[in-house]
Structure 1
Amino acid sequence: MALTVPALPFTFVVHALAVAGAVLVLVWVLHFRGGIAWEASNKSLIFNLHPVLMLIGLIIIGGEAIISYKAYTLKKEVKKLMHLVLHAIALILGIIGVYAAFKYHNESSIANLYSLHSWLGITVIVLYGIQWIYGFVIFFFPGGTTPLRSESLPWHVAFGLFVYVLAVGTAAIGYLEKLTFLENSGLAKYGAEALLVNFTAVLTVIYGAFVLLSVSSQGPPEDENGYSAI
């Protein structure tokens, strides 16, 4: 059941947190970690693509896709297309981000898929892809029958939110894992970088919480533009 609080205050906070999160992760990798690169002798620059693409792509753009039906007063077909395209961008950036982590590991002679973060990360990408393909086929093209769409919608929403919560949790674990490695390599535990990474992780979780609050809050009156009209 939707919250009686209007969606607008929550979606406004989501947008503000999205900007803040993007700024923080860019400050981390560009200022503290030396930048980003696809090819470099310093392999850490390759890894730096991973947190940037996962946060801005899968978490932030993915979150914006989730709230698109509540955040914008547009026609149903426009919001449906926005929802689909934003999720596609999030998924593509997420796949590239995961590949960047594998590329960094392979070029640095580091084992792959040994940590909980990596296991959950692959799970998230696979489930996200399945969710997007199912949504495209049933709700966009070629499109399922009206009864099938009506029956699928609650499951589509619930599964999508589950995958998103899993993505946010996986990101938080990733920050912890990377910061632990850095601290074991000599990074000051109470230094500026450590505090920035922890604060970015906290903001990521808060962002995810406001996405959930926004999508569960009271949207516009149900009409031809309503979410259930999908």
Structure 2
Amino acid sequence: MAALSPPRPPPPPPSSLISPLLFFARISGLGVAFLVVSWALNFKSSFLPQSTSQEDLIYAVLHPLLMVIGFILISGEAILVHKWLPGSRSLKKSVHLSLQGVALASGVFGIWTKFHGNDGVLANFYSLHSWMGLICIALFGAQWLIGFMSFWHRGEIRSTRMKVLPWHIFFGLYTYGLAVATAETGLLEKLTFLQTMRNVSRRSPESMVVNGLGLGLAFLSGIVILAAVSPMYDNLQRKLVYSSDQIKNLMS
């Protein structure tokens, strides 16, 4: 007869690693938001040096704001929802899906701003930055659609959903990393243009802001990805307890 397993202890608090990561993610996110807003508002003439149209200037300034704050920062926050939001799994998934929907809408509108102009639809889509941006939005949209269908169709076989989940996580983190890499290529492209065509000094305030923004995005993405892949201590502890109980029952 199998021996009765001892009562399981109450689940311990979340891993001590998660809370500092969430704190630094929020701080670095605020820093990135501050830098991109400062760049867009304080150096507006750099975005459209050859145009005097106020409408063109608004669209040009909206592009970095939407792609960095609306797309990268909000999608990063959506990735971290499962690590900090209390409540049921269904609540976490619904908030995650909603935030990713906002990020997708911001990304689509941010790319649409580059279609606006008198040079034609494809005038701004010739560089590595633009190609990566289109691929990133396409992958993000497909990822969100799969998540939406999975959320509203919960009758699938559990084994099938468990097989799809690792791929969903992988492509989610890959797309987020691709979005940051795309932003970095855009910053490099813009700064190179300013320094060669506009004779902006390498040590000018604008160069420092753009370089700081690039470093901030790199730092933020590392924290978000690390927090996303770090296991919660309570879930890990429960798995260890369950495995220990199963071994004791088999040996009894």
Cα pair distance change 1:93/1:120, threshold 3 Å: same
Cα pair distance change 1:35/1:76, threshold 3 Å: farther
Q: Give the fraction of aligned pairs with identical amino acids, expressed as a percent.
A: 36
Unmatched 5+ stretches in structure 1: 224-230
For residue 222 of structure 1, give the secondary structure of its aligned residue in structure 2: helix
- Contact kept, 8 Å, 1:18 with 1:207, in 2: the verdict is yes
Q: Residue 76 of structure 1 is aligned with which of 89, 95, 113?
A: 89
**Shift in Å, 1:5:** 5.7
Cα pair distance change 1:115/1:35, threshold 3 Å: closer
Cα pair distance change 1:64/1:182, threshold 3 Å: same
Q: Which amino acid aligns with 1:167?
A: A
For residue 221 of structure 1, give the secondary structure of its aligned residue in structure 2: helix
* Cα distance in 2, alignment partners of residues 218 and 5 from structure 1: 11
Deviates more, 1:189-198 or 1:117-126: 189-198
Structure number with larger C-alpha Rg? 2
Instruction: Give the match for residue 142 of structure 1.
Output: 153
Unmatched 5+ stretches in structure 2: 1-14, 237-252
- Contact kept, 8 Å, 1:24 with 1:200, in 2: the verdict is yes
**Shift in Å, 1:145:** 2.9
**Shift in Å, 1:67:** 1.1
Instruction: Give the match for residue 128 of structure 1.
Output: 140
TM-score (norm. length: structure 1): 0.86
Deviates more, 1:44-53 or 1:165-174: 44-53
- Contact kept, 8 Å, 2:18 with 2:230, in 1: the verdict is yes
TM-score (norm. length: structure 2): 0.79
Instruction: Give the match for residue 25 of structure 1.
Output: 36
* Cα distance in 2, alignment partners of residues 97 and 67 from structure 1: 23
* Cα distance in 1, alignment partners of residues 27 and 160 from structure 2: 37
Q: Residue 71 of structure 2 is aligned with which of 58, 74, 89?
A: 58
**Shift in Å, 1:220:** 4.9
- Contact kept, 8 Å, 2:46 with 2:194, in 1: the verdict is no
- Contact kept, 8 Å, 1:33 with 1:45, in 2: the verdict is no
**Shift in Å, 1:108:** 4.9
**Shift in Å, 1:15:** 0.9
Instruction: Give the match for residue 9 of structure 1.
Output: 20
Report how many aligned residue pairs link the two structures: 214
Which string of whole-angstrom CA distances, capped at 9 and with x for unpartnered residues, describes residues 143-170 of structure 1?
3332221111011001111111111111
